[in-house]
């Protein structure tokens, strides 16, 4: 499967049914694909999750392929990510990750947001062992 440069893996409030889906994604994505990535998911205790990308587990979510760069940029702003900002000042860092289907077959490489380690340490984060944020 091939994804566009405006494709992002989401695992929390931007998933269909999540509290930010309607405002930031509905009608703005050309395709949503169920997917998962390698890592650990945390409940940050503030109404949304944060992910750490590693080989310790799976994070469940989906890939949104945005139609317009302006809508993709709006997600950057929501995630507290500034492309020219210092990584320690961003709430999340946008990184390229490999995503997989639920049979662990590789789907391709997309953007995803990894929580700032300082924010993770400062929060009352609880690891979600099943890697799934319920919307």
pLDDT in tens, 73-117: 999 999 999 988 887 889 999 999 999 999 999 999 999 999 999
For 70, the enclosing helix (H) or strand (E) is helix 69-78
Query: Which residues, 6+ apart, have CB-to-CB distance to 20 below 8 Å?
Result: 13, 14, 78
Query: Which pLDDT score, from 0 to 100, does residue 107 have?
Result: 97
Domain boundaries defined on the chain: 7-119
Question: What pLDDT digit, counting tens, does each position of 29-55 carry?
Answer: 999 999 999 999 999 999 999 999 999
- Residue 135 clears pLDDT 80, i.e. is over it: no
Question: Residue 39's closest CA among 134, 132, 135, 105?
Answer: 132
Residue 119 pLDDT level (bands cut at 50, 70, 90): confident
| Domain 7-119: CATH architecture, name and number where available | Roll (3.10)
Q: Among 121, 112, 130, which residue's Cα sits nearest to residue 57?
A: 130
The predicted model gives 51-75 an average pLDDT of: 97
């Amino acid at each position: 499967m091939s994804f566009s440069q405006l494709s992002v893996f989401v695992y929390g409030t931007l998933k269909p049914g999540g509290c930010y889906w309607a405002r930031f994604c509905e009608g703005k994505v050309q395709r949503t694909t169920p997917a998962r990535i390698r890592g650990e998911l945390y409940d940050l205790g503030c109404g949304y999750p944060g992910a750490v990308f590693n080989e310790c587990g799976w994070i469940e979510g989906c890939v949104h392929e945005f139609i317009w760069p302006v809508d993709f940029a709006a997600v950057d702003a929501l995630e507290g990510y500034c492309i020219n900002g210092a990584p320690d000042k961003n709430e999340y860092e946008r990184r390229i990750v490999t995503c997989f289907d639920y049979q662990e077959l590789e789907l391709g490489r997309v953007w995803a947001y990894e929580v700032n380690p300082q924010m993770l340490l400062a929060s009352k984060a609880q690891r979600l062992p099943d890697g799934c944020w319920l919307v």
